[in-house]
Amino acid sequence: MGMLFLICLEGSIYSCKHCYTHLGLADDIISKSFHCRHGKAYLFNKVVNITVGEKEERMMMTGMHTVVDIFCVGCGSIVGWKYEAAQEKAQKYKEGKFILESDIEFQFATWELSIICNLHGMIRTP
């Protein structure tokens, strides 16, 4: 396994529930009214520290979508998916956006964050 470069976020953070790798910021949530197999899911403008899987067509309640599963780079767990394309016009706003299945939110002070990020070797981004 190569060197892992993780991005460290600041503020109110959503993390991988298995390894606590930072995935998204509460500020980047577009909608909290999504659902997945395991319950609640949130639509994010952007997420970090993920890798993507193969493109596939998936039939959802809101029509056919082209999606890729997204995986935590820290532990390889599946954490949600990304919308590559939506067929329905009303669903186009989701294209390029991410769903995180994890609903774990942490709120850290900046000094706490810098300790956690140093421990994990995460890189602070301005």
DSSP string, the chain: -----EEEP-SEEEE-TTT--EEEEGGGEEEEEEEETTEEEEEES---SEEEEEEEEEEETTEEEEEEEEEETTT--EEEEEEEEESSGGGGGGTT-EEE----EEE--HHHHHHHHHHHTEEE--
Question: Residue 40 CB, nearest distance to Zn ion (Å)?
Answer: 18
Judge whether 18 and 29 are in contact, CB under 8 Å: no
Question: Residue 8 CB, nearest distance to Zn ion (Å)?
Answer: 14
Question: Residue 23 CB, nearest distance to Zn ion (Å)?
Answer: 8
Q: Which residue, 17 or 97, has its beta carbon nearer to Zn ion?
A: 17
Binding site for Zn ion (CB under 5 A): 16, 18-19, 21, 72, 74-75, 77
Q: Which residue, 49 or 86, has its beta carbon nearer to Zn ion?
A: 49
Q: Which residue, 97 or 120, has its beta carbon nearer to Zn ion?
A: 120
Q: Which residue, 18 or 32, has its beta carbon nearer to Zn ion?
A: 18
Other residues' Cβ atoms within 10 Å of the Cβ of residue 46: 10
Question: Residue 102 CB, nearest distance to Zn ion (Å)?
Answer: 9
